């Protein structure tokens, strides 16, 4: 085992300039899986919408090109720069989230106003907000660690800032992203030194707000009812999750073959976005599902290893926040497509179609790699 570790370190130092080889390798393979699955899952829809089966794949390749530039930037920008840039980044997010809510400025899709048009792609400010709030909480924990044992002086100030931004996210509306960010930041605060009772109390408060938000909108209540019994409305509200079940069932052990999915032929809604894992399960079977989950597991393992090895507290909290964010997002997406949670509209990192999510995922992965190069996480 020690010999393998020594070989790993030599490879990283000699060929990867100190970057974490396992993290980078798992990312590259997940991006490749995403390319294959987006081409397969989007071809029929692309042909219907644009007259060519390659248009959505072309768009994804453009997003990927921007994402790779973002990855390179994240790998090279010093972590200390993010500490200084955090206030400006938070202000930028606040302005962008306000702009999204303005009719005629924010781009309206499927009953939600979450995007701004930026040239060749729609940009989703809540994706940038994930990074901004992780940086804010990391900076707060680094500066105020001695106060975190006190609820009102240590925990409440950070929760107040979180609440303001998450309220803007809910107004879009984007309930799933609000839940994801809230859970991530609460876990960061807990790791930073807050008492378990304070975190549980805060979690209870967020849960009460969540229940009230669910009850305030009929479509959210419908999602809960569908989750409990999708077969009660199998031709309408329960249709999507039932088609997802059928995709998983059809896949069997080894799948029906790449490109041969039936559910992507306009049966399963959002087949190339939030429910792309269902198509992967159908085409590659249990074998493919286990392989991709292993890649995600490797990515999260190395992310937490980087956080543990970070020499600077701010960098440690940033790495922990990014690792937790994507760990939770992966779990939530997989739970939704398998019917273990109500639908939330969260994409699968690296694999789902979506420009903003892909660019920010690659950028934050670059930040992780940068922190790992400094901290030298052990394999």
Q: Is the pLDDT of residue 46 over 60?
A: yes
Asked which of 51-55, 166-170, 215-219, 238-242 is least confident by mean pLDDT, the reply is: 215-219
List the single range of 155-159, 286-290, 326-330, 343-347 with lowest mean pLDDT: 343-347
Residues 163/114, Cβ–Cβ less than 8 Å: no
Q: How many CA atoms lie within 13 A of 282 on its CB side?
A: 25
Is pLDDT at 11 greater than 70 in this prediction?
A: no
Asked if residue 7 has pLDDT above 70, the reply is: no
pLDDT at 24: 95
Please count the CA atoms within 13 angstroms of the CA of 117 that sit on its side-chain side: 10
Give the per-residue pLDDT at 111: 66
User: Distance between CA 65 and CA 71 in Å, rounded?
Assistant: 10
* pLDDT band, very low/low/confident/very high, at 185 (cuts 50, 70, 90): very high
- Residues of the chain above pLDDT 70, percent: 94
Angle at which helices 79-100 and 355-375 cross, to 10°: 160
Tell me the C-alpha distance between 249 and 54, whole Å. 28
CB-facing half-sphere around the CA of 6: CA atoms within 13 A? 3
Confidence of residue 3 (pLDDT cuts 50, 70, 90): confident
pLDDT in tens, 207-223: 998 888 888 888 788 88
Q: Please state whether beta strands 121-123 and 107-109 pair in parallel, antiparallel, or not at all (unpaired).
A: unpaired
Q: Where are the domains of the chain?
A: 2-375
Q: What are phi and psi of 194, to 5 degrees?
A: -70, 150
At 136, the pLDDT band (50, 70, 90 cuts) reads very high
**More confident site: 44 or 219:** 44
- Contact at 8 Å (CB) between 251 and 239? no
Confidence of residue 120 (pLDDT cuts 50, 70, 90): low
**Percent of all residues in the chain with a pLDDT value above 90, rounded to a whole number:** 64
Cα(309)–Cα(371) distance, integer angstroms? 9
Condensed to tens digits (0 to 9), the pLDDT of residues 142-153 reads 998 888 889 998
Percentages (nearest 5) of helix, strand, coil residues in the chain: 75, 5, 25
Token digits for 301?
């393992």
Predicted structure pTM score = 0.92
The CA distance from 326 to 164, in Å, is 22
d(CA 83, CA 135): 7
Confidence at residue 181, expressed as pLDDT on a 0 to 100 scale: 96
Task: Give the residue-averaged pLDDT of 122-147.
Answer: 92
CA distance 373 to 319: 12
Which has the closest alpha carbon to 345: 279, 289, 269?
269
Cα–Cα distances (Å) from 63 to 57, 66, 122, 312, 377, in that order, read 10, 5, 10, 32, 30
- Per-residue pLDDT at 12 exceeds 60: no
pLDDT at 98 (0 to 100): 93
Give the H/E segment covering residue 123.
strand 121-123
What is residue 358's predicted lDDT score, i.e. its pLDDT? 96
Phi, psi for 129 (deg, rounded to 5): -60, -35
| pLDDT tens, position by position, 273-294 | 999 999 999 999 999 999 999 9
Q: What is the pLDDT of residue 115?
A: 78
The residue-averaged pLDDT of 22-33 equals 97
Question: Residue 266 has what pLDDT?
Answer: 86
């Amino acid at each position: 085992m020690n010999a393998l570790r020594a070989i790993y370190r030599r490879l990283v130092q000699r060929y990867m300039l100190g970057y974490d080889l396992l993290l980078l390798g798992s990312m590259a393979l997940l991006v490749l899986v995403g390319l294959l699955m987006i081409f397969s899952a989007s071809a029929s829809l692309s042909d219907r919408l644009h007259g060519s089966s390659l248009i959505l794949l072309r768009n994804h390749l453009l997003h990927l090109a921007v994402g790779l530039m973002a990855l390179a930037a994240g790998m090279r920008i010093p972590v200390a720069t993010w500490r200084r840039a955090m206030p400006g980044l938070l202000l930028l997010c606040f302005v962008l989230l306000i702009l999204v809510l303005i009719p005629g400025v924010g781009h309206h899709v499927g009953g939600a106003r979450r995007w701004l048009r930026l040239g060749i792609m729609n940009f989703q400010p809540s994706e940038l907000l994930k990074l901004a709030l992780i940086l804010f909480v990391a900076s707060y924990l680094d500066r105020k660690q001695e106060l975190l044992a006190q609820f009102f002086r240590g925990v409440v100030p950070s929760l107040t800032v979180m609440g303001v931004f998450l309220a803007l996210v809910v107004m879009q509306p984007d309930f799933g992203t609000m839940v994801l960010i809230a859970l991530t930041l609460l876990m960061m605060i807990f790791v930073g030194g807050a008492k378990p009772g304070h975190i549980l109390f805060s979690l209870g408060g967020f849960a009460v707000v969540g229940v009230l938000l669910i009850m305030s909108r009929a479509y959210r209540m419908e999602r809960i009812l569908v989750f409990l019994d999708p077969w009660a409305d199998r031709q309408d509200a329960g249709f999507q999750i039932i088609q997802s079940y059928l995709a998983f069932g059809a896949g069997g052990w080894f799948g029906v073959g790449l490109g041969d999915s039936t559910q992507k032929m306009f049966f399963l809604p959002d087949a190339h976005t939030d429910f792309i894992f269902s198509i992967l399960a159908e085409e590659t079977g249990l074998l493919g599902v286990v392989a991709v989950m292993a890649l995600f597991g490797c990515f999260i393992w190395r992310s937490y290893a980087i956080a543990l090895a970070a020499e600077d507290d701010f960098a440690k909290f940033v790495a922990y926040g990014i690792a937790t964010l994507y760990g939770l997002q992966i779990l939530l997406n997989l739970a939704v497509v398998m019917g273990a949670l109500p639908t939330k509209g969260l994409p699968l990192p690296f694999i789902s179609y979506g420009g903003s999510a892909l660019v920010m995922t690659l950028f934050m992965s670059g930040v992780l790699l940068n922190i790992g190069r400094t901290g030298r996480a052990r394999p």
